[in-house]
Structure 1
Amino acid sequence: MRNAATFLGIIAGLMGIFIGFFGFAYVEFSEAQPQIAENLGLFENPALIQFASFIAPLLAIAGGAVAASRGLWGGIAMLLASACFYYAFGFNVFTFFPIGFAGLGGLLAIAARQPDSPTSH
């Protein structure tokens, strides 16, 4: 289960990098071109969007990397990443995979009692 949590966390983080890149870039664009951004829509809290754009993918990738050895820490990091994606960007067509993958990876990492060990079948 921890191996699955590792892959889910890393995949969620890689997808989240693109969401974070565009979220951060849109905040920068809205600050540079406020007239155009008013027509497209503004964020209520741009600092939160920029923070979440950086920290959520970082937590997902780090949580996935840590999940193999420290399931609880990795699971908590992935659940925090999932919550950060949801709080900052909401649940939509661009965020449902990173939210779902990081959330499921976090649950799997926490639910795994001990590291995966090879078993003979």
Structure 2
Amino acid sequence: MRNAALTLGIIAGVIGMIVGFFSYGYTEAIERFGEIEGLAQQVENVDLIRAASILGPLLAIAGGAMARAQAAWGGALLLLSTMAMYYAFGFNVFTMFPIAFAGTAGLLALMAGKPDEPKAHF
């Protein structure tokens, strides 16, 4: 379960980085070049989008990397990443995989016992 959490967390972070690059770039382009009537408007909370574009994938990759050694902390970071990406970007065709992968990885990491024990954290 720890290896699955590691793999899913890293994948969620990489896909989340792609979403983050485009989201941050979109807010920067609209700020720099202005809105296009009926086509491209600035988002309501630019700082939230920019912060989540960086922190969401970062937390997913860090949580996935920690999942083998510190499963509880890694799982908490993965679930925090899930919440950040969902709150900032919503659930849509571009965010469904990073959100689902990070959430699943977080649950797997929290349910994983020590490698030599079949018992979970709870």
Q: TM-score, normalised by structure 2?
A: 0.91
Given that 1:63 and 1:73 are in contact with CA atoms closer than 8 Å, whether structure 2 keeps it comes out as yes
Cα deviation digits, residues 57-86 of structure 1 (max 9, x gap): 000000000000000100000001111110
Q: How many residues align?
A: 117
- Identity over aligned pairs, percent: 54
Q: CA deviation at 1:34?
A: 1.6
Equivalent residues in 2 for 1:1-121, closer than 5 Å: 1-36=1-36, 39-115=39-115
Contact kept, 8 Å, 1:62 with 1:74, in 2: the verdict is: yes
Task: Could you list the structure 1 runs, at least 4 aligned residues long, displaced by more than 3 angstroms after superposition.
Answer: none
* Contact 1:27-1:46 within 8 A present in 2 as well: yes
SS of 2:35's equivalent? helix
TM-align CA RMSD: 1.5
**Greater share of helix:** 1
TM-score, normalised to structure 1's length?
0.92
Segment drifting more, 100-109 vs 39-48: 39-48
* Unaligned stretches of 5+ residues in structure 1: none
